[in-house]
Amino acid sequence: MIPFIELALNGIVSGLVIGLAALSITLVFGVARFPNAATGDVMSLGAFAALAGASASGTLLIGGVFGIAVAAFVSLACYFLVFQKLSSRPPVASLLASIGVAFVIRAVMGVVFGHQQKVFDLPLARPWRVLDIRFHPTDLKISLAALATLVAVFLILHATPIGRRMRAVADDPSLARVSGISPRRIMVALWLLSGAVAGIAGILVGIKTVVTPEMGWDLLLPAFAAAIFGGIGHPVGAVVAGVILGIVQEVATPFVGFTYKIALSFAVLLAVLLIRPKGLFGTVAGAR
Amino acid sequence: MNLTRRTTLQSLAAAALAPALGGQAFAQGATFRIGALNPVTGAGSPYGSGMQKMILAAAEMVNAAGGAGGRKFEVFAEDTQTTPQAAVLAAKKLIEVNKVQAVVGTWSSGISLAVIPLTNDANIFLMNTSGAPALSVPPANAKGLSYRFQATNDRFGRAFAELCEKEGFKRPATMAFNNASGIGNTEGFKKAWEKKGGKVVANVVYEPNQTSYRAELQKVLAEKPDVIVTGSYLGDTTIILREWFQTGETTKWVIPAWAANPQLVKAIGNEAAEGLFAVDSISNEGSPAFSAYDAAYQKAMNQPGLSNVYAAMTWDMVVTLALAMEAAGPNADIAAINKKIREVANPDGAKVSTFAEGKEALKKGKINYEGASSVLDFDEFGDVTPDFSVSRVEKGEIKRKYLVKI
Amino acid sequence: MEAYLVAIAIVAAIYVLLALGLNLQYGLTGIINFGHVGFFCVGAYTAALLAEKGWPPLLSFSAAAALAMLAAWPMGLISLKLREDYFAIVSLGFSEVVRLVVTSEKWLTSGVQGITGIPKLFGGLATGLPNSLAVLAVLVAVNLLAIAAMRRIVTSPFGRTIEAIRDNEEAVKALGKDPAAFKIQVLMLGAALAGVAGAFYAHYIGYISPDQFIPLVTFQIWMAIIMGGVGRISGALAGTFILMLFLEGSRFLRDIMPFISEVEMASVRLGVVGLALVLFTLYRPTGLMGDFTRK
């Protein structure tokens, strides 16, 4: 039993991190209406920027803030340079362009930071044992950071005027326009927010694993799965779905093996799309 | 590597102007063309440039010593991009456009396996640094024109087993990255260990690019191994060792040196790294051949020659080929040269360390080239058996402990 | 020199087959297939494994096409249920699952070790340049056949229907035609072309392993059809030509741009694919050759 609990705990942590990536995707998907494949590479960029900031300033905190800022800014730049121009075209155009953007960001990272792995300089700690179950201090911090991000995004969406307008656009773009909401300001806020969340996700993945230019892209498929599973445009859904996927993947490993567990998120994605296209909490009827 | 082509052209031009040789005759009979096919970009990029530069440097050295069998080397360089498709096209170009008579320095098994049908078709040499056992035997090496300068994955596994026996481990487990090389290492270990009468308590093969390997670790640790032997790379090893340390377990680790390097120690910290074993096939350090290579490598790359074992292998490829050509005499064809390769590299003969030395000694009798990468004795499959070193991490330093001969 | 050019032409012809299939799916019906490499992979492995068993090429190639079609059938059913961007994600996942299956099922595919020693086509009849020329000739013939078939499709009632589906699916339904069957057929046809391409690839390269079938291949084909021109047969040809020029040309790029180091070349290659995708989507969505279906 204890191994299972430990696996599940591990799944929760992995899932929270994937959930944050899904949160970034679902924000854009809900309002700008396309799956943004550049999210993964914005994540990696955030992690690299945080590393650079941390080594320049000497503290991880300032580095982290810098990383988040860079990710948010690049995300906004992508909007102005590319996605804004495509907003009147079918979502496919934006999706294709986002893959292009992803490649360009990764190419720049490859040239600037190189392909050698980098790590956040954090001391490793031995676990705490509670009831013979191992808890890891680093995991706890990562989870808290992920939850704090989720709460912040939730507050922004529900307690600020710009957030409420964002949700209004997500629910019904044409109605929102009629009621005089300026789409431009909302889009700026949206892309900044989505970029910042991706940045945080990237930094957390970087702390948990190692930082390479490819790390974000490798997580894209599970993140898409979590975003769709949670219901497009639903922030809490994205994170909850991420956690569920994380737990399922870890706990199912003894049964499906170490190779096919990678395919699990895809299987869940397919099942959700075919059975309940709205996802867990979805309001946007829209898989078809 | 834009210099490559230009330098080659220049040296070619210089050679063509050499007064001793008539222009036409020189172009026809007096050059031997080598294709340097290296992983300059892609996964092999940390090694590729150095490998290429050492092929050029060794060829220059041979030419400076008056050429081999009356012929001078001419090198054409291409990048495999570490992908089979690009490697095949590059090899086609080398064979068809540049008319090379040997392709040297392919890295990673997938590349060598994709290129070898082409070199076989053209009846020319392939000298590789790949580990996959399939390269030794037909259909890959049906013509016996392929030589491997790197230890096979099997041999790595045997070295791991020697180490475990010597250190008194009783319950080893394995973890392998799911690719040909990772699995080759751990399966080679399993075979060797079971031959010694031991039992491997758990074998796990994992997929790369995950955020966590805890499930994999848990499966291995559940069998209470006293040592875990890996076939892994730097990135995944870093994550696995961090997670292992955080479990609080105190298992020992035996890791191939391409993963257990100073970067790993830096990434996981001295405490977690303490006591890790790193195993590496070693260059023939201390040998005169190695000093010659080391000097050339320092000059070309501004780094110690030890940092790139594959570059030492490519250096040896060119020297071995040159010595075989010298032994075969002027205008020998590929088959005649091929007959001489084992003769100049394997024992029974005067030990030599450089091409110039070998060229002299060949006048008196048989020679045995002792290379920079290993003593270079090819078995019937064209494989070498280098020695292995066992290092241990102590207070953040990777310290070499002893050698393992298999 | 000739043999090198022939080698490039062979790889290009294989890519044209892939591009034609994708073009049929996206250009004509609007199906966004991000899993094209999956069908390519199925074709390559089928042909390689059957060749090992001694099947004659005609049969093994047909089997490669048939199995790729079979793999496309459930995908077609799924595509009916999903909006196109959702299907894009699902198809990307599909190709990754195909890769995981060939990685995992060692008893069949020998896993990550890959399949070695796949015989050359016509290896018994000729070697060297004549052999390559024969392979190229067959490839060109297959391409011409595919192009002829596609021309017929475009001008046939079937073609007009699938284009109408792309432009306005509801209207097609209103006319009493079932777009579903058309979509599935188009997806399967494109997959069959990819399967045949895979069979040629396996026999030509002689060695296949799972890591040759990564999504980047799919996106390179996408780059080709988007640059060349969506929905146009000449677009698939032009796009593939540019793609090959770029992929092989980057070998010589270092001579012109010495400031790019070797290691950076891989990143530069990726960046150029990305930039081409972005710029063409933004400024020339119909590609170089334009979309002749919308004169």
For residues B129 and B110, the answer to whether their CB atoms sit within 8 Å is no
Q: Does C189 contact A at CB distance below 8 Å?
A: no
DSSP for B274-320?
Answer: TT-EEEEE---TTSHHHHHHHHHHHHHHSS-GGG-HHHHHHHHHHHH
Please report the ipTM that was assigned to this predicted complex: 0.84
Contacts of A108 (CB under 8 A, 6+ apart): C267, C271
Residue B5: predicted pLDDT: 47
**Angstrom distance (rounded) from CA A275 to CA B273:** 48
3-state helix, strand, coil in chain A (%, to 5): 75, 5, 20
**Angstrom distance (rounded) from CA B97 to CA C12:** 18
Query: Per-residue pLDDT averaged across B192-205, rounded?
Result: 92
**Angstrom distance (rounded) from CA C184 to CA C164:** 15
Nearest to B41 among C116, C117, C266 (CB): C266
For the entire predicted model, the pTM comes to 0.85
Domain total in chain C: 1
Q: A212 and B239 in contact by Cβ < 8 A?
A: no
Residues in chain B closer than 8 A to A125 (CB atoms): 246
Strands B31-38 and B72-79: parallel
Report the residue of A45, A85, A111 to disrupt the C interface, i.e. the one with the largest count of C CBs within 10 Å.
A111
Say yes or no to pLDDT of C60 above 90.
Answer: yes
The three-class DSSP label of residue C179 is helix
| Residue C264 within any structural domain of the chain | no
Indicate the residue type of A39: T
Domain total in chain A: 1
Report the residue of B93, B128, B143, B308 to disrupt the C interface, i.e. the one with the largest count of C CBs within 10 Å.
B93
Phi, psi of B375 (to 5 degrees): -75, -5
Percent of chain C with pLDDT over 90: 33
Q: Does B268 contact A at CB distance below 8 Å?
A: yes
pLDDT, one tens digit per residue, over A137-162 is 888 889 999 999 999 999 999 988 88
| Alpha carbon distances (Å) from A282 to A147, A233, A235, B80, B390 | 20, 7, 10, 48, 57
Q: Which of A68, A8, A62, A12 is nearest to A43 (CA)?
A: A68
Helices A137-159 and A161-171: crossing angle in degrees, nearest 10, is 80
Q: Does C255 contact B at CB distance below 8 Å?
A: yes
Domain with CATH 3.40.50.2300 in chain B: 2-150+284-369, 153-280+387-404
Looking at the domain B2-150+284-369, which fold is it?
Rossmann fold (3.40.50)
Query: Per-residue pLDDT averaged across A280-288, rounded?
Result: 54
Q: How far is A99 from chain C (nearest CA, A)?
A: 7
| Residue C265 within any structural domain of the chain | no
Interface of A with C in 30-49 (CB under 8 A): 34-35
Looking at the domain B153-280+387-404, which fold is it?
Rossmann fold (3.40.50)
pLDDT, one tens digit per residue, over C265-289 is 767 878 888 898 899 888 888 777 6
Q: A97 and C281 in contact by Cβ < 8 A?
A: yes
Nearest to C85 among A91, A114, A269 (CB): A91
Find residue B173's DSSP bridge partners. Answer: B202, B228
Say yes or no to pLDDT of B24 above 50.
Answer: no
Find residue B177's DSSP bridge partners. Answer: B206
| Residue A227 within any structural domain of the chain | no
**Angstrom distance (rounded) from CA B244 to CA B255:** 14
Q: What is the length of chain A?
A: 288
| Residue C232 within any structural domain of the chain | no
| Residue A186 within any structural domain of the chain | yes
In the structure, what pLDDT confidence band is assigned to residue C294 with cuts at 50, 70 and 90?
very low
| Residue A254 within any structural domain of the chain | no
Q: Which residue has the higher pLDDT, C143 or B21?
A: C143
For A110, the closest chain B residue by CA position comes to B42
| Residue A90 within any structural domain of the chain | yes
pLDDT, one tens digit per residue, over C228-277 is 887 778 888 999 998 888 877 766 665 666 566 655 676 787 888 889 88
In the structure, what pLDDT confidence band is assigned to residue B154 with cuts at 50, 70 and 90?
confident
Residue B80: predicted pLDDT: 86
pLDDT, one tens digit per residue, over A196-250 is 999 999 999 999 888 988 889 889 989 998 998 888 888 889 999 999 999 988 8
Domain that holds residue A91: 2-215
